[in-house]
Structure 1
Amino acid sequence: PAFNEATRIIRTLEKVVEHLSGKPYEWEVIVVDDGSTDATAQIVDDWSNSQPSVRLEKAEHRGKGWAVRRGMLSATGAHRLMCDADLAVSIHWLDRFLEHMDPGCHIVIGSREAAGARRFDEPRYRHLMGRVFNWVIKIVAVRGFQDTQCGFKCFDGHTANELFSLQRNPGMGFDGEILYLATKKGLKILEMPVEWYHQPESKVRPGVDSLIMIKETLNIRWNHFRGVYGRLTRERD
Structure 2
Amino acid sequence: MSLTTLPSHATDSTRFEAPVLDVVVPVYNEEIDLEPCVRRLHAYLSAHFPYRFRITVADNASTDSTAEVAGRLAGELPGVAAVHLPEKGRGRALKYVWTHSDAAVLAYMDVDLSTDLGALLPLVAPLISGHSDLAIGSRLARGSRVVRGAKREFISRTYNLILRGTLSARFSDAQCGFKAIRSDVAERLLPMVEDTGWFFDTEMLVLAERAGLRIHEVPVDWVDDPDSRVDIVATAVADLKGIVRLLRAFGSGRLPLGTLREQLGRNPLPVAGVPAGLTGQLIRFAAVGAASTLAYLLLYALLRTGVGMQWANLIALLVTAIANTAVNRRVTFGVRGNDGAWRHQAQGLIVFAIGLGLTSGSLALLDRLSANPSKPVELVVLILANLLATAVRFLMLRVWVFRSRRGAHTRD
TM-score by length of 2: 0.54
> Is the Cα–Cα contact under 8 Å of residues 32 and 59 in structure 1 kept in the other structure?
yes
> Is 2:35 the partner of 1:10?
yes
Give me the whole-angstrom Cα distance separating, in 1, the residues matched to 2:64 and 2:249: 34
User: 3-state SS of the aligned residue for 2:192?
Assistant: coil
Q: CA RMSD in A?
A: 1.8
**Percentage of matched positions with identical amino acids:** 27
> Is 2:196 the partner of 1:204?
no
Deviation string 1:137-170 (CA, Å, 9 cap, x unpaired) is 1122242122111110111121122222221011
Partner of 1:68 in structure 2? 94
> Is 2:212 the partner of 1:186?
yes
Deviation at 1:203, TM superposition (A): 2.4
> Is the Cα–Cα contact under 8 Å of residues 142 and 176 in structure 1 kept in the other structure?
no
Deviation at 1:221, TM superposition (A): 2.2
User: Could you tell me which amino acid in structure 1 is paired with residue 200 of structure 2?
Assistant: F
> Is 2:221 the partner of 1:195?
yes
Give me the whole-angstrom Cα distance separating, in 2, the residues matched to 1:84 and 1:230: 31
> Is the Cα–Cα contact under 8 Å of residues 136 and 214 in structure 1 kept in the other structure?
no
Partner of 1:32 in structure 2? 58
Alignment of 1:71-150 (within 5 A): 71-101=97-127, 102-120=129-147, 122-150=148-176
Deviation at 1:48, TM superposition (A): 1.0
Partner of 1:19 in structure 2? 44
User: 3-state SS of the aligned residue for 2:53?
Assistant: coil
> Is the Cα–Cα contact under 8 Å of residues 64 and 170 in structure 1 kept in the other structure?
yes
Alignment of 1:41-56 (within 5 A): 41-56=67-82
TM-score by length of 1: 0.92
> Is the Cα–Cα contact under 8 Å of residues 133 and 181 in structure 2 kept in the other structure?
yes
Residues 1:226 and 1:55: Cα distance change in structure 2 (over 3 Å): farther
Residues 1:63 and 1:104: Cα distance change in structure 2 (over 3 Å): same
Deviation string 1:73-128 (CA, Å, 9 cap, x unpaired) is 122211111111111112331112233333221111110001011111x1222111
Give me the whole-angstrom Cα distance separating, in 1, the residues matched to 2:95 and 2:248: 20
Higher RCO (CA-CA < 8 Å; seq separation 6+): 1
Greater strand content: 1
Deviation at 1:228, TM superposition (A): 4.8
User: Could you tell me which amino acid in structure 2 is paired with residue 21 of structure 1?
Assistant: S
Please, which runs of 5 or more residues in structure 1 have no aligned partner?
none
Residues 1:106 and 1:62: Cα distance change in structure 2 (over 3 Å): same
User: 3-state SS of the aligned residue for 1:28?
Assistant: strand
Residues 1:137 and 1:42: Cα distance change in structure 2 (over 3 Å): same
Deviation at 1:230, TM superposition (A): 2.7
User: Could you tell me which amino acid in structure 2 is paired with residue 25 of structure 1?
Assistant: Y
Give me the whole-angstrom Cα distance separating, in 2, the residues matched to 1:36 and 1:142: 36
